[in-house]
A = this chain, B = another copy of it.
Amino acid sequence: MAARQRVAESLNAALATALADDPRLYLLGEDILDPYGGAFKVTRGLSTRFPRQVLGTPISEAGIVGLAGGLALAGDRAIVEIMFGDFATLAFDQVVNFAAKSVTMYGRRVPMPVVLRCPTGGNRGYGPTHSQSLQKHFVGVPSLAVYELTPYHDTTDLLRGILAAGEPAVLFEDKVLYTDWMRRDGAADDLFRYDVVGDWPGVARVRLDDAPPECIVVAPGGVADRALAAMRRLLLESEIVTELHVPARLYPVDLSPVLDGAGRAGRVLVVEDSTAGGTWGAEVAHTLHTELWGRLRRPVRLLHAADSVVPAAPHLERAVLPQDGSIAGAVEEMCHG
């Protein structure tokens, strides 16, 4: 039986597989070469194994995303590591106005397999310009898909699918998740089981066998661990049964696997690390309110980061981001409030 894998290892392996499978695939980014192997060591070993395909670049976020677009246009594929997802803002024009637009603006479909990998999120004390969760700003660009790494979805399969779709994509990767364990064999932890349902890439459902949930928690991969910790607590301390749904693709998001459970539970909490306002959760909530009209017991509730920068000091940072406690608290309020 294969050894347990951390999420970063699994991503490293997925990248290696993708590079080995397709000699036309490039991996570009700042400081990704060995021996350094990237700021988060996700690319460690890859430049040694695939020196022709793995290219270290200057500090030129817009330039290298443009370069990736050119490679894709010429029939290659490219993955760009943006060292901190916060800096994807520098490439926003290349993503929105070149890569995504080129897929359809020439009156026929132009494949554009470009993936921006964005290490994301806080809880690491890196401060306001290195801790953001900017998913929402990339949602709703025609022909641009948004994904987030999760510990429940096979990383190799996910990456292969993203590339094969032939559309530009942004893959958000929670930095804390990197050191977490990939789940397998259906076990989320010693209490909760999981399965992945729905069309590719699917929604992971984390739940108890045979205990119908009072509330469905919907969360992207980066929040999933905090949500699971909250669910344990709710179960053990308050005897509230909940179920977690983690979609790997945030946009376009396929909520059909969520609808049935959400409709039965009648309560849905969406948790995300984004700051308040125009969040991915609002999009999810709108779909659920519409699709489940008359079946919910109360409005979908959104729990997200405060309307605030992410402070550097760990205790201040913790207070603005959703944590186990605030998630559990929100569910309790919904169930007993």
| Residues of A bordering B, CB below 8 Å | 86-87, 89-90, 92-93, 96-97, 101, 104-105, 127-129, 134, 136-137, 139-142, 251-252, 274-283, 285-286, 289-290, 293, 298-300, 302, 307-309, 311
Contact = CB atoms under 8 A, between A and B. Distances in A.
A94 to B, nearest CB: 9
A140 B285 contact: no
Quick one: which of A92, A282, A298 has the most chain B CB within 10 A?
Answer: A282
Contacts of A275: 140-142
A104 B308 contact: yes
B92 A86 contact: no
Contacts of A101: 128-129, 309
Contacts of A279: 140, 283
B289 A277 contact: no
A247 to B, nearest CB: 14
Contact of A128 (B87, B105, B129, B308): B105
Contacts of A277: 139-141, 251-252, 283
A93 B93 contact: no
6 contacts: A92-B92, A92-B93, A105-B311, A278-B283, A286-B286, A286-B302
Nearest to A61: B93
A289 B302 CA distance: 12
Contact of A280 (B87, B278, B281, B307): B278
Contact of A89 (B92, B136, B251, B290): B92
B282 A290 contact: no
Contacts of A290: 299
A286 B308 contact: no
Given A105-B128, A129-B101, A282-B283, A299 B307 contact: no
A129 B289 contact: no
Contact of A282 (B274, B276, B282, B309): B282
A299 B251 CA distance: 22
A105 B104 CA distance: 39
Nearest to A140: B277
B96 A93 contact: no
Contacts of A90: 92-93
A298 B309 contact: no
Contact of A289 (B104, B139, B281, B299): B299
